[in-house]
């Protein structure tokens, strides 16, 4: 997870690759006990890049949709640096264009870990 400062506000953002890891941890905790052959629960299809098991695939699709409502607020470059609209003369439009051309990982405003929201608000004061 990364913190990016935008318009003077600190927001928690998650990268899409972190989302898959978070999903798998959540799925194991909540639904893993219903699965047989635990070693292949999260097997990925080589040709489609999605989960092989229909139930896992459907749950992941719902997981992604629940987070897609979040807005892309920044990107993580291949060098591990977070870039935001403030880093570009053309602001948000140029940021999205550059990210698409470079293949950067989107960072999405979204989930705040319980307890950290109060801490972040105290730091902004």
Task: Convert the pLDDT of each residue in 1-35 to its tens digit.
Answer: 344 443 333 333 444 556 788 888 888 888 877 77
Q: What is the mean pLDDT of residues 100-109?
A: 84
Task: Tokens for 43, please give them.
Answer: 């097997």
Give the model's pLDDT for residue 7.
Answer: 37
Rounded to an integer, the average pLDDT of 66-78 is: 78
Percent of the chain with pLDDT over 70: 68
What tokens appear for 79 in the block? 């060098």
**Band of residue 122 on the pLDDT scale cut at 50, 70, 90:** low
E strands, the chain, where? 2-6, 9-15, 72-76, 82-83, 105-109
Q: For the residues of 63-80, what is the DSSP string, one character each? A: HHHHHHTSPEEEEE-TTS
Residue 99 CB neighbour total at 10 angstroms: 19
Residue with token string 């972190």: 18
Report whether 66 contacts 73 (CB < 8 A). no
Q: Residue 20 in contact with residue 28, Cβ under 8 Å?
A: no
Instruction: Judge if pTM exceeds 0.75.
Output: no
């Amino acid at each position: 997870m990364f913190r990016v400062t935008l318009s003077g506000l600190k927001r928690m953002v998650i990268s899409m690759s972190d989302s898959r890891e978070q999903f798998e941890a959540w799925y194991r905790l909540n639904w893993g006990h219903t699965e047989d052959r635990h070693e292949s629960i999260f097997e990925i299809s080589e040709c489609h890049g999605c989960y092989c098991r229909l139930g896992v695939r459907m749950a992941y699709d719902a997981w992604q949709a629940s987070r897609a409502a979040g807005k892309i607020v920044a990107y993580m470059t291949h060098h591990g640096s977070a870039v935001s609209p403030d880093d570009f003369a053309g602001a948000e439009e140029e940021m999205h264009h550059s990210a698409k051309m470079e293949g950067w990982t989107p960072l999405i405003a979204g989930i705040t870990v319980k307890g950290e929201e109060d801490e972040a608000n105290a730091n902004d004061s």
